[in-house]
């Protein structure tokens, strides 16, 4: 049995806390919000994930020292925009080599850092790993079969976390490509906004399939330029996470996109979804990274125009369709070109 603290009392954190409890581990949940902690103490569940009960012996706290000290694993499950602040609060209590697992997805605006990079900057003494993949909290909490990937700098850390989480309904793969895993998880949220916008405009399956296919091309193009492995973007945290986020109504990014496609502003859509829409926060950072690494991201670029410049969604789609003619896979030669050589 391990002692695990989930940092963050949202739906994803509670789903993972429930899974870890079922695997026999001792659970603590920390949140900065006193009202949320009181609700968890009284009901042992959150209104965001009804029916997923945590055990009577679970500890719920707003105290950083109680949350961190003596734990075998800290699971960072706060929204990306709060990752730096939360890591800073925890830092002085984290022991050298203490294992930490980031399960949130996003890229920090302005610094363009991944969330694990932020945690490492704020908590340099921690042993930071990441987890990502097609995994809605609503389904993990109900024990629906799910498969994800854990990335860590050492095989020992990856295997330790794999053993804590894995069971008959939650399969865990491991990988050394921490950067690729995080980029896939963050950038797919921006493409999911585009998929939702297309749904809001009333477009069909053809459009959705095109956005998913060309979207993963953009993610891999930027991700490999930054040092991620191409194979990672073909896997669970790339195409797998992109499919589920673009297709499911559990996806807050897709839901926000639908509302934007129907004519609401970005702010109105986020207010209606009532949850953090990570793709909005990652969209600007993605374009800054595209400039830095000199890669083209036409779908993500148009999402930025819609979100922050007031461009109509219909016009953005039209411009995507009328871009210059392209070869789908430039690396494939024509037969006559090979003969000429």
The catalytic site residues sit at 188
Strand locations in the chain, DSSP E?
3-7, 26-30, 59-61, 73-76, 99-102, 127-132, 146-151, 170-175
Residue 217 in contact with residue 190, Cβ under 8 Å?
no
Closest C-alpha to 141, from 277, 44, 71: 44
Beta bridge partners of 270: none
DSSP codes joined into one string, 86-102: HHHHHGGGPPTT-EEEE
DSSP codes joined into one string, 97-153: T-EEEE----B-TTT--BHHHHHHHH-TTSEEEEEESS--HHHHTTT--EEEEEE-S
Q: How far apart are CA 196 and CA 249, in angstroms?
A: 9
Residue 106 in contact with residue 115, Cβ under 8 Å?
yes
With b meaning 16 or more CB within 10 Å and e meaning fewer, what string describes 25-38? bbbbbbbbeeebbe
Which residues, other chains included, contact 163 with Cβ-Cβ below 8 Å and sequence gap of 6+? none
Beta bridge partners of 74: 5, 100
Residue 103 in contact with residue 68, Cβ under 8 Å?
no
Q: Judge residue 205's burial from the number of C-beta atoms within 10 Å of its C-beta, 0-12 exposed, 13-18 middle, 19 or more buried.
A: exposed
């Amino acid at each position: 049995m391990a002692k695990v603290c989930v940092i963050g009392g949202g739906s994803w954190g509670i789903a993972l806390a429930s899974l870890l409890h079922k695997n026999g581990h001792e659970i603590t949940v920390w949140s900065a919000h006193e009202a949320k902690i009181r609700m968890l103490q009284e009901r042992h569940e959150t209104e965001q994930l009804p029916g997923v009960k945590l055990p009577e012996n679970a500890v719920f706290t707003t105290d950083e020292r109680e949350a961190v000290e003596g734990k075998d694993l800290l699971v960072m499950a706060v929204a990306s925009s709060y990752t730096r602040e939360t890591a800073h609060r925890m830092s002085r209590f984290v022991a050298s080599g203490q294992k930490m697992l980031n399960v949130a997805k996003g890229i920090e605006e302005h610094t363009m850092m991944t969330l694990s990079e932020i945690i490492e900057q704020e908590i340099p003494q921690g042993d930071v790993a990441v987890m990502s993949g097609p995994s809605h909290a609503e389904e993990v909490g109900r024990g629906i079969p799910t498969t994800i990937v854990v990335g860590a700098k050492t095989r020992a850390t990856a295997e330790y976390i794999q053993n804590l989480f894995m069971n008959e309904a939650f399969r865990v793969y491991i990988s050394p490509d921490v950067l690729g895993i995080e980029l896939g998880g963050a950038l797919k949220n921006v493409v999911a906004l585009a998929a939702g916008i297309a749904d809001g405009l009333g477009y069909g399956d053809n459009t959705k399939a095109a956005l998913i296919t060309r979207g993963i091309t953009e993610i891999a193009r930027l991700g490999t330029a930054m040092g991620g492995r191409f194979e990672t973007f073909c896997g669970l945290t790339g195409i797998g996470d992109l499919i589920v986020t673009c297709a499911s109504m559990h996806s807050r990014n897709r839901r926000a996109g639908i509302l934007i496609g129907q004519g609401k502003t970005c702010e109105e859509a986020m207010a209606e979804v009532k949850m953090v829409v990570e793709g909005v926060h990652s969209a600007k950072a993605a374009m800054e990274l595209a400039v830095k690494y000199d890669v083209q991201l036409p779908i993500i670029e148009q999402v930025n125009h819609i979100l922050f410049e007031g461009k109509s969604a219909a016009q953005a789609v039209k411009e995507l369709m009328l871009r210059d003619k392209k070869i789908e896979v430039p690396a494939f030669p024509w037969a006559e070109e090979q003969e000429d050589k």
